[in-house]
Amino acid sequence: MVMLYAEVKNEVSNSKFNSFTESTCDFFPSTYELPSEYHIFVDEFRRNPGTIWIMKPIAKSQGKGIFLFKKLKDITDWRRGVEYQPQLQQPDGTSQPIETYVVQRYIENPYLIGGRKFDIRIYVLVTSYSPLKVWLYRSGFARFANTRYSLDSIDDNYIHLTNVAIQKTAPDYDPEKGCKWSTQQLRKYLTAKHGQSKVSTLFQQMSNILVLSLQSCQRVIINDKHCFELYGYDILIDSNLKPWLIEINASPSLTASNQDDYDLKFGLLNDVLNVLDLENRLTGKEKKIGLFDLVWDEGPVLSDDCGFESVSGSLVTNFNLGCANDRMENLSAKSSTGGLPWNIRALRPKPELPHLSLLHPSYV
């Protein structure tokens, strides 16, 4: 995540992208790597008194080690540990570098549904960096906080962190309500509230974020035609319907928390293998495989209509996040033409997982 932020900044400052792109590159909050950029961060902190910041350890997951603060003295203990323990001693006597954190300006005005904050997990598959080839999974999910949003308690993780691992430990967490919506449900809700045009623009802005972030690190990634990467993007929408890139996870969790989550992630992994086409059964010209849409192939990929408006001037046109889930129809069509060798529905195991409903209607 740190590398991507740094590279995006460098590309914008070097004017690599055209003027349209430069004007829309303000999609990530001010972000610094600590301890290496501590003094630069302090200068920025003092220029914006009263701003809330969030600290994240880059080597941990599931919300571990994350905290919010708005005074420098709030991170005194962390800073003291950096100054007096530059390296940690391992049991075998070797030294381990100190833990690296990212400090990021906290988005204080998130879009709320039912008074609760949420972010969106989007899955992106990169099968090549040179040339850049990007596939977007049209199904993802919105993760909701269990507690109504407020800035009065910045130390309450149940308000500010949407990680399921944290939310399910809340004292009043109700497993019958759950804390997720599918991207299809989210898109329908937003469209009903704000209209198709505004929501189509919002989702196209998300697509621009995905492509720009990958372009920014394209030069520093060692490309190997035998390798691929599945990323988990976390995007937050603010009260002005502006999307913000919060994190990019190179190892997104594929653990299922309920039946709906299992169905999503089982299909995701199946479709990753379908895109990789290890048995060379596809033509190589497909724009859609399962729920993966090819959004970038050395340039934007033209789209088939998904039922929503397209936005002129967008970097990406074949962007169908939140559109209809026609995965089985697509795979069945390819199987009938010899493109895919198996009946995926028949091979799907039947796990005994508790079925948890998505976000309860009372939240809305």
Residue type at position 148: R
Mean pLDDT confidence for 127-131: 93
Task: Provide the pLDDT for residue 165.
Answer: 77
More confident residue, 49 or 62: 49
- Helix ranges (DSSP H) in 107-174: 157-160, 164-167
pLDDT of 189 higher than 70: yes
More confident residue, 169 or 143: 143
pLDDT of 129 higher than 80: yes
pLDDT of 233 higher than 90: yes
Task: Output the CATH code of domain 109-363.
Answer: 3.30.470.20
Task: Provide the pLDDT for residue 111.
Answer: 98
Domain ranges of the chain: 30-106, 109-363
Query: Per-residue b/e over 1-14, b at no fewer than 16 CB within 10 Å?
Result: bbebbbbbeebbee
- Arithmetic mean of pLDDT over the chain: 79
Task: Provide the pLDDT for residue 304.
Answer: 62
Give me the helix-helix angle, 183-194 and 196-217, nearest 10°: 130
Both tokens of residue 252? 């997104």
Residue type at position 322: G
Model confidence over 272-327: pLDDT tens digits?
999 999 888 888 889 999 999 999 998 888 876 554 445 555 555 788 888 766 66
Task: Output the CATH code of domain 30-106.
Answer: 3.30.1490.20
Using CA atoms, how far apart are residues 253 and 232, in angstroms rounded to an integer?
8
For residue 354, name the pLDDT band (cuts at 50, 70, 90): very low
